[in-house]
């Protein structure tokens, strides 16, 4: 057993240990756009932590709200009881959502939001006397967290296979990425909307009366930063409507301003029946997620032939006072600083900066939407993640934090980033690309 004072990867397998076989890189401070590491270096954060710190780090208003809350009310039971801030936050999130997505359920993470959404979808049909609708449809290259439901509908084949059959009755739509046809698209690619028609094939195969819901990320983040083809989400909506299937958008990444709108739902003008969120809800400060669902679902729970409102589903920490306080201060910060609008204003500048990397060594595709960017590198044969990881290390040495998934560099800075800092991100990356093997 390693000694306790040895900050070795041994102590946190799967997390800090990932890709670091020895000493983890330690972050000890953060302010606005920067992290500070154990060596005292300032690191420009081009990833908003893990796509979550949308308002920037350690913002005073959020810090104060959390400090005040812990002194005032540390915890309130989530059942039979409540506290005002959770209700206030639910009302604020509901007001942010388009359509009738005005019923809010609090979780503690994106994974829990996904599993909640899948259960809500099945419960909705059951409440309406359609208990045969239990099948779920995800998408290849989708990522929906690490719960059993999320892995089952998720599109990471290795994860599904490793854990066996997982949920029964899950199908996957094809992913929508074709590098040949979509390379260097600005924003959403023109090609690929027809891939939504695959949903019709699955419906024919199993019959609509067995299918509860389709879940997709509007922008697939963790599996490679893939933008939806133009018209694709609209088509999914139309096919779901035709067959009485619920549509779930997993907005854990796209929620809270990432695309320059409160949600991707609003950005694309396509309204699903259920939306999952987390990350930006509390600016990453306190773990919290939520599920917004259409009031028609809630009404079915209350008034349908099968009463499911009594079903047990909830977490000890649902609507936790600290998280609710952090969430309210976060939403205030977004609003007062106009950060969603700011992201929309910066998006064209960001797009130019991303695509200016065309022609740099190893670059085979560049993608952007809102304040999301992706730089796809040509893989070294037999080593599918090595080149991007090398870029990660070299960027970190130069004081820039990026994220990699496979050989794709994913960028998602806090929405407070300045134009000068955008320039700095891409100048550093240009140097890094020229330096990697
Ligand atoms: N869904 C999506 C789209 C995500 O990007 C993530 C996390 N990256 C999750 C779900 C899971 O969220 P968490 O890690 O908070 O459980």
What's the pLDDT tens digit per position in 382-433? Answer: 999 999 999 999 999 999 999 999 999 999 999 999 999 999 999 999 999 9
Could you identify the atom of ligand 1 that is nearest to the CA of residue 250? 3
d(CA 326, CA 60): 11
Q: Tell which one of 107, 108, 110, 153 to mutate to probe ligand 1, the residue whose CB is within 8 A of the most ligand atoms.
A: 110
- What pLDDT does 303 receive? 87
Is residue 363 within 8 Å of residue 387, measured between CB atoms?
no
Ligand 1 neighbours, Cβ below 6 Å, are 109-111, 114, 143-145, 217, 221-222, 250, 252-253, 278
C-alpha distances (whole Å) from 24 to each of 7, 12, 38, 59, 263 are: 8, 10, 10, 26, 34
Kindly give the number of the ligand 1 atom that is closest to the alpha carbon of 221: 5
C-alpha 357: how far from its chain's center? Answer: 25
What is the position in ligand 1's atom list of the atom closest to the CA of 217? Answer: 3
Please write the tens of the pLDDT for every residue from 78-127.
988 999 999 999 999 999 999 999 999 999 999 999 999 999 999 999 99
- Hey, what are 269's tokens? 């003008």
Cα atoms found within 13 Å of the Cα of residue 436, Cβ hemisphere only: 27
**pLDDT at residue 310, rounded to an integer:** 77
The answer to whether 57 touches 414, Cβ cutoff 8 Å, is yes
Q: Which two tokens stand for residue 417?
A: 């980033």
What is the CATH architecture of 9-55+338-435? Answer: Alpha-Beta Complex (3.90)
Q: Tell me the C-alpha distance between 252 and 368, whole Å.
A: 18
Tell me, what's the pLDDT at 184?
98
Length of the chain measured in residues = 437
Cβ(137)–Cβ(171) below 8 Å: yes
What's the alpha-carbon Rg for the chain, to the nearest Å? 22
Query: For atom 7 of ligand 1, which residue has the closest CA?
Result: 145
Task: With CA atoms as reference, report the closest residue to 53 among 70, 26, 34.
Answer: 34
What are the angstrom distances between the C-alpha of 392 and each of 29, 299, 377, 429? 20, 49, 12, 10
pLDDT value for 89: 98
- The residues of the chain that CATH labels 3.40.640.10 are 65-336
- The pLDDT assigned to 8 comes to 54
State which ligand 1 atom lies nearest to the alpha carbon of 220.
3
> At CA 137, angle to CA 315 and CA 273, rounded to 5?
60
Compute the distance from residue 83 Cα to the ligand 1 centre, in Å.
Answer: 27
| Contact of 263 with 275, CB cutoff 8 Å | yes
Which atom of ligand 1 sits closest to the CA of residue 114? 10
- Dist. CA 146 → ligand 1 center (Å): 8
Report the first-to-last Cα separation within the chain, whole angstroms: 37
Based on the number of CB atoms within 10 Å of its own CB, is 37 exposed (0-12), middle (13-18) or buried (19 or more)? middle
- Ranges of the chain whose pLDDT falls below 70: 1-23, 165
Residues of the chain with CATH 3.90.1150.10: 9-55+338-435
Tokens of 185: 């698209």
Kindly give the number of the ligand 1 atom that is closest to the alpha carbon of 109.
15
Q: Which CA distances in Å does 382 have to 282, 298, 378, 387, 407?
A: 40, 50, 12, 11, 12
Helix (H) or strand (E) holding 350: helix 339-355
Q: For the structural domain made of 65-336, what CATH number should be given? A: 3.40.640.10
- Residue 412 is predicted with a pLDDT of 98
Residue-level pLDDT at 14 = 58
Of 53, 106, 143, 255, the one to substitute when testing ligand 1's pocket (max ligand atoms within 8 A of C-beta) is 143
The count of other CB atoms within 10 Å of the CB of residue 82 is: 16
Instruction: Say how many Å lie between the CA of residue 276 and the centre of ligand 1.
Output: 9
Tokens for 198?
């695959």
User: How much distance in Å is there from the Cα of 414 to the middle of ligand 1?
Assistant: 17
For a mutational test of ligand 1's pocket, the pick from 52, 107, 115, 144, i.e. the residue with the most ligand atoms closer than 8 A to its C-beta, is 144
């Amino acid at each position: 057993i390693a000694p306790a004072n040895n900050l070795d990867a041994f102590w946190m397998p799967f997390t800090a240990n990932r890709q670091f076989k020895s000493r983890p890189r330690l972050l000890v401070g953060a302010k606005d756009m920067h992290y500070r590491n154990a060596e005292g270096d300032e690191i420009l954060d081009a990833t908003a932590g893990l796509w979550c710190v949308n308002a920037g780090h350690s913002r005073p208003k959020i810090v104060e709200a959390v400090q005040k809350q812990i002194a005032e009310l540390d915890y309130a039971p989530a059942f039979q009881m409540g506290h005002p801030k959770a209700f206030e936050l639910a009302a604020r999130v509901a007001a942010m959502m388009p359509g009738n997505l005005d019923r809010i359920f609090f979780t503690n993470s994106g994974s829990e939001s996904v599993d909640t959404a899948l259960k809500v979808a099945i419960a909705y049909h059951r409440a309406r006397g359609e208990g045969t609708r239990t099948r779920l449809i995800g998408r290849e290259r989708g990522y929906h967290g690490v719960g059993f439901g999320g892995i089952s509908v998720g599109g990471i084949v290795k994860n599904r296979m490793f854990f066996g059959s997982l949920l029964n009755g899950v199908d996957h739509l094809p992913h929508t990425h074709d590098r040949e046809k979509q390379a260097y698209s600005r924003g959403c690619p023109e090609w690929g909307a027809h891939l939504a028609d695959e949903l019709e094939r699955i419906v024919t195969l199993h019959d609509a009366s067995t299918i509860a819901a389709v879940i997709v990320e509007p922008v697939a983040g963790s599996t490679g930063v893939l933008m939806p083809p133009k018209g694709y989400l609209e088509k999914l909506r139309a096919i779901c409507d035709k067959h009485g299937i619920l549509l779930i958008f997993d907005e854990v990444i796209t929620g809270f301003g990432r695309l320059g709108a409160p949600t991707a739902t609003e950005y694309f003008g396509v309204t699903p029946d259920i939306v999952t969120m987390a990350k930006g809800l509390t600016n990453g400060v306190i773990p919290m997620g939520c599920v917004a669902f259409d009031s028609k679902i809630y009404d079915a729970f209350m008034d349908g032939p099968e009463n499911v409102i009594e079903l047990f589903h909830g977490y000890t920490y649902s609507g936790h006072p600290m998280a609710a306080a952090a969430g309210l201060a976060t939403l205030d910060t977004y609003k007062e600083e106009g950060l969603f609008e700011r992201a929309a204003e910066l998006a064209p500048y960001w797009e130019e900066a991303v695509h200016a990397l065309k022609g740099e060594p190893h670059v085979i595709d560049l993608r952007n939407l809102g304040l999301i960017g992706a730089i796809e590198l040509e893989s070294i044969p037999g080593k599918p993640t090595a080149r991007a990881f090398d870029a990660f290390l070299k960027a970190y040495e130069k004081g820039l934090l990026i994220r990699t998934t496979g050989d794709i560099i994913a960028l998602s800075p806090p929405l407070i980033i300045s134009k000068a800092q955008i320039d700095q991100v891409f100048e550093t990356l240009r140097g890094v690309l020229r330096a990697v093997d």
